[in-house]
Amino acid sequence: MQRYIVKRLFQGVLLLIIVSTVVFAVGRLTGNPVDLLLPEEASEEERQAMIETLGLDGPVLEQFVVFIKGAVQGDLGVSIRYRQPAVDVFFSRLPNTLMLMPAAMLLAILMAIPLGILSALRRGRLTDRISGTIAVLGIATPNFWLGILLIYLFSVQLGWLPSSRMGDWSHYVLPTITLGTFLVAGFMRLIRSSMLDILDSEFVKLARIKGLSEMKVVWKHCLRNALIPVLTLWGVFMGGLVTGTIVTETVFAWPGVGRLTYEAVIFRDYPLLQAVVIMDAVLILVINLVVDILYAYVDPRIRFT
């Protein structure tokens, strides 16, 4: 297990190097943050002056060396737009996203597990069809569209919930639904289909032959196995979740990392972009590592090989 974690960590570092090199390269292909910091009337002279002030005047390779040197020491540069250390900017926004993501995940898990199990148990019946339709609808509805519709319906028309920004619990409702919907749908389908496989499996038969109660068969013998594919595909869901936060945070003016990511791209804030991508990658790696450990806990076949 320890060797496994060390191996994963090593792979993670490798991934980080790949990711940061790619970001560094792609970010610099065209577009210059200076152009976006200056008004359109600015002359070439002003432009040069600002390039020097921001330290963007050296050759790209030199900048890369500077970047890597800093990165190793945990310094990812100063955000061009915010004039603050990029890592600080990232961490000032991170808690806000970390409030939203688990809420969405919790919603997804709380809804997906019972629904997925129910529809697998009631395969082909009305319950199954209704929850299946909801699931596909959840996947099919673009979440920015859903967000806009929710705001219009629940804030503007009904006035029940605030339309945006952070605040008390009521501010969490709409963004959580918007962000969580596709997860609910994805999880649910996954749990349903793996439940179907498991319900047909020999060990469930044996559990029934033992004379165990249906509750015990479903919640003990099936659920844990049904969660395995969810964990396997966790990486894919994480990607979707990050995408989801970019869109959701934009729609709901949520001051989180997703919105920050979008800004960093649009404003070519290289240091911030690098920081955000690298920190995002670290975050995803850490979460994936936790999931892997969880996975090993759930599935002993992984743990002991």
Partner 1 sequence: MNGDFALEVQDLHTHFFLRRGVVKAVDGVSFSVRRGEVLGLVGESGCGKSVTALSLLRLLPNEAARTVQGRVLLDGEDLLGKSDRQMRQIRGRKISMILQDPQTSLNPVFTIGNQLSEVIAKNGAGRGGSVMQQAVEVLRKVKLSAPEQRVQQYPHQLSGGMKQRVVGAIAMHRGPSVLIADEPTTALDVTIQLQYLNLLKDLQENTDMAILFITHDFGVVARMCDRVAVMYAGRIVETGPVREVFNNPSHPYTQALIASVPKMQRSAARLHTIEGQPPALSDLPEGCRFAARCPHAEARCQAAYPGAFTVGAEHAASCWRLEPA
Partner 2 sequence: MRKLPWVSMLIIGGMVFAAIFAPYLTPYSPIEQSLPEKLLPPFWEAKGSTKYILGTDIFGRDVLTRLLYGARISLIVTGLSLLVGGGVGLAIGIASGYIGGRLDSLLMRLVDAAFTFPAILFALLLAVTMGQGLDTLVIAIGLLLWAGFARIIRGEVLALKQRDFVALAKVHGCSELRIMVTHILPNVMNTFMVLVTLNVGAVIVAEASLSFLGAGIPPPTPSWGLMVAEGRGKISSAWWLSLLPGIAITLVVLTFNLFGDWLRDRLDPKLRQL
Partner 3 sequence: MKHHRSSIVYLLSLLIVAFAWTPLSAADQKGTLIVALESLGGQSMDPIQEGRPTNAHIQAPVFDSLLGYDYEKGGVGPGVAERWVLSDDGLSWTFHLRKDVKWHNGDPLTAHDVKFSLERTMSKDSLSSRRAQLRRNVVKIEVVDDYTVRIFTNGVQVHFPSGLSRSVFQEGQLMPKKYIEKVGEKEFRKKPIGSGPWKFVRSVPGDLIEYEAVDYPHWRGTPKYKKLLILLVPEESTRVSMVRTGEAAIASISPEAIQEAKAGNLKVMSVPATMQAIFQFWGLYQPQFKDSPLADVRVREALSLAINRQEIIDHVMYGQASWPMPFASFGYSVDMDAERWAKWSRHALRYDPIRAKQLLTEAGYADGFELNFANTALPGTPYMTQIGIAVADFWTKIGVKVKLTNYEWGAFRTLNRGEQKKLAGGASMFRTAGRPVAMSRYNVAFGTKSPHRLYGNADICTGICQTYKKMYAKQVTQQNPVKRAAMTDAIMGLVADSWVAVPILEGMGYWAINPEKVGAFKPIPGRHEFGDVFERIPRPEQKAWQ
Interface positions with partner 3 (CB under 8 A):
30-32, 35-50, 53-54, 79, 81-84, 88-89, 91-93, 148, 151-152, 155-156, 159, 162-166, 250-253, 255-256, 259-260, 263, 266-268
The interface partner of residue 281, options being partner 2, partner 1, partner 3, none and the CB cut-off 5 to 8 Å by kind, is partner 2
Whole-number minimum distance, CB 151 to partner 1, in Å? 43
Residue with tokens 């919640």: 219
The answer to whether 33 touches 265, Cβ cutoff 8 Å, is no
Q: Does 194 bind partner 1 (CB under 8 A)?
A: no
Give me the helix-helix angle, 257-266 and 270-298, nearest 10°. Answer: 140
The interface partner of residue 142, options being partner 1, partner 2, partner 3, none and the CB cut-off 5 to 8 Å by kind, is partner 2
Kindly tell me which of 164 and 232 has the beta carbon lying closer to partner 1. Answer: 232
Cα distances (angstroms) measured from residue 188 to each of 110, 177, 238: 10, 15, 16
Kindly tell me which of 3 and 301 has the beta carbon lying closer to partner 1. Answer: 301
* Exposed/middle/buried for residue 210 (C-beta within 10 Å: 0-12, 13-18, 19+): exposed
Kindly tell me which of 45 and 200 has the beta carbon lying closer to partner 3. Answer: 45
The interface partner of residue 236, options being partner 2, partner 1, partner 3, none and the CB cut-off 5 to 8 Å by kind, is partner 2
**Sequence letter at residue 163:** S
Give me the helix-helix angle, 270-298 and 60-72, nearest 10°. Answer: 50
Whole-number minimum distance, CB 174 to partner 2, in Å? 15
DSSP code string of 10-43: HHHHHHHHHHHHHHHHHHHHS--HHHHHS-TT--
Cα–Cα dist 148/151, whole Å: 5
Please select the residue that binds partner 1; options are 10, 91, 145, 203, rule is CB under 8 A. Answer: 203
Q: Does 15 bind partner 1 (CB under 8 A)?
A: no
Kindly tell me which of 223 and 284 has the beta carbon lying closer to partner 1. Answer: 223
Token pair of 82 as six digits: 């915010």
CA 113 distance to own-chain centroid? 20
Stretch of 21-29, 101-109, 207-215, 262-270 lying at the interface with partner 1 (CB under 8 A): 207-215
Largest CA distance in the chain: 84
Q: Does 215 bind partner 1 (CB under 8 A)?
A: no
Q: CA angle, corner 51, sides to 50 and 57, nearest 5?
A: 155
Whole-number minimum distance, CB 123 to partner 1, in Å? 7
Question: Would you tell me which residues interact with partner 1 (CB under 8 A)?
Answer: 123-124, 200-203, 205-214, 216, 220-221, 224-225, 228, 298-301, 304
